[in-house]
A and B are shown apart, each in its own frame.
Chain A
């Protein structure tokens, strides 16, 4: 099998930023919250869960719009909220950027005025130019004088993002920012946010019930259920957790890997990627070597074998061991395969599990039929 790459791996770059926000809440009513976490600089944390899991309440607590009976929030060592010591810094004194689900633009102001309204920390003379620059940053040159009613959904979202960035926030909060948009607009805006995050040093929190958004944008995921954290970890680990129903049910279940482009094989029209699961070959795409990427491997596109078969069209055959087997409805099973530092999810027939004698700990070869690559900021 000439195309099989060695499973030699590069060390995974440690992405541990400075701790910026700490959050802890323990309340039973009216909205139950029982969790603690922290947010680190330069990291996108996805708060993922069904509606009613407390995602939005957590964001509102960080912003100061909601005061749980028992909670504590700090930001850059300053206490923003402490129910015990009765400390509550009001929202307008917290440097927070919040993109509301419905954008909440000021309907009586132009796009530029909406952004300038959040620039009260600057001298009056500088606000207009800064507002223009921020609108340009989100690709809205020429729309400065439009009112929200004259903007499309995607443009409104961009204004909301520009306004959230205007305060030079210590933490940026995105509350289901894509839920009101149709798919085509959404994908364009994912790219916008992906590009933005590389320029921002502050932690970003993305609240969503769409795992695709988490897979594309988040570094770390917190899975919420009724105000509790039922899982937490990097996107790759969480996306392989077939035991969490809400993850397993995520429509296009699969594995997400953070990858680096190592080399481009022009004559074979292939790209060589370094991932925690080892080297992968992917169809050629437009990026320079060294670029940080996301690779998504749908679990349906992973075939398990007991050895590397010969004469196969598949480019990627990865050696690993079975970590876990979870039965799914419809005579299929979700098999998690530990490959290098990653867990790869494969969806196979239950019959195949029996035929191959798959049990945890057994060595297998994972054949990856398709590799979807997203380039942040492309």
Chain B
């Protein structure tokens, strides 16, 4: 078991969830309630990482993070090290890849709140902020948790993008998914097996949580 890789994966997953949560909450709600031109196009763009092969996403991100791009140059001037093959670069890449996993459940959760229920909040004298905190958030909560759990689990298991953007630097970019590949290459099936089982349990736990939560929504509506 590569504990360094395991801890790194947990850190990366946690950081991705923390970084993405406020953005996803804002964007998911805006997509649920906002009507604007090009909404369909934006929604398609958000779903794009679901269809694109991770290596393709990784390749473009590598181009964007590299020394020849303004983004890469800017980051290097600011921090003194390269964005590609760094924890920060990996974090940005994983946040981008997880946009559909986090935005969509949150958007659906807000969409599922009856418009009249939100209106009733306003008619009851609740300010828009109070309606958000006391009505929308509690009702959308299971969807929000689902989004964050999915994002965490997906981050733990992401392989293609991590390999392309991060390489395999121990303690910096070598996640558990990469470590499994590493161990298999080295014919160390025992270590690979332990780590694979760890990822399997994380995924099953994530599914368990999301299923329970979606059933809870169903019960409440009944």
Binding site for B on A (CB under 8 A): 63-65, 90-92, 95-98, 100-102, 104-108, 117-118, 120-121, 147, 149, 163-164, 166-167
Residues of A within 8 A of B121 (CB): 106, 117
Residues of A within 8 A of B138 (CB): 108
CB atoms of A92 and B120 under 8 A apart: no
Cβ of B68 under 8 Å from chain A: no
Residues of B within 8 A of A90 (CB): 122, 128
Query: Which chain B residues (191-222) contact chain A, with CB distance < 8 Å?
Result: 219-222
Q: Give A117 to B127 CA distance when docked, in angstroms.
A: 12
Which residue in A64, A106, A108, A120 is a CB contact (below 8 Å) of B120?
Answer: A106
- Inter-chain residue pair count (beta carbon < 8 A): 71
Cβ of B114 under 8 Å from chain A: yes
Residues of B within 8 A of A121 (CB): 125
Interface centre among B122, B128, B222 (most CB of A within 10 A): B122
Residues of A within 8 A of B125 (CB): 92, 95, 118, 120-121, 167
Encode B106-140 as 1/0 by CB contact (under 8 A) with A: 00000000101101111111111011001100110
Encode B41-74 as 1/0 by CB contact (under 8 A) with A: 0000000000000000000000000000000000
The 8 residue pairs across chains A and B that have the minimum distance between CB atoms = A118-B124, A104-B116, A104-B120, A91-B122, A98-B123, A108-B138, A92-B122, A100-B116
In the complex, 20 of the A-B residue pairs with CB atoms within 8 angstroms, ordered by the A residue number, are A63-B119, A63-B123, A90-B128, A92-B123, A92-B124, A92-B126, A92-B130, A96-B123, A101-B116, A102-B114, A102-B116, A104-B116, A104-B120, A107-B139, A107-B220, A108-B220, A117-B134, A121-B125, A166-B124, A167-B124
Residues of B within 8 A of A120 (CB): 124-126, 130
Residues of A within 8 A of B222 (CB): 149
Binding site for A on B (CB under 8 A): 114, 116-117, 119-128, 130-131, 134-135, 138-139, 219-222
Given contacts A149-B221, A149-B222, contact A104 B119 (CB under 8 A): yes
CB atoms of B122 and A104 under 8 A apart: no
Known: A105-B120, A107-B221. 8 other contacts (CB 8 A): A90-B122, A95-B125, A102-B114, A104-B116, A106-B117, A106-B135, A117-B124, A149-B222
A301 shortest CB reach to chain B, Å: 41
CB atoms of A91 and B139 under 8 A apart: no
Name the residue of chain A whose CB is nearest to the CB of B127: A92
Residues of A within 8 A of B130 (CB): 92, 120
Residues of A within 8 A of B122 (CB): 64-65, 90-92
Q: Give A108 to B113 CA distance when docked, in angstroms.
A: 11
A67 shortest CB reach to chain B, Å: 13
B133 shortest CB reach to chain A, Å: 12
Residues of A within 8 A of B128 (CB): 90, 92
A210 shortest CB reach to chain B, Å: 20
Given contacts A106-B135, A107-B139, A108-B138, contact A91 B114 (CB under 8 A): no
Name the residue of chain A whose CB is nearest to the CB of B118: A104
Q: Give A102 to B128 CA distance when docked, in angstroms.
A: 21
Q: Give A95 to B122 CA distance when docked, in angstroms.
A: 11
Name the residue of chain B whose CB is nearest to the CB of A175: B116
CB atoms of A91 and B135 under 8 A apart: no
Name the residue of chain B whose CB is nearest to the CB of A115: B124
Residues of A within 8 A of B134 (CB): 117
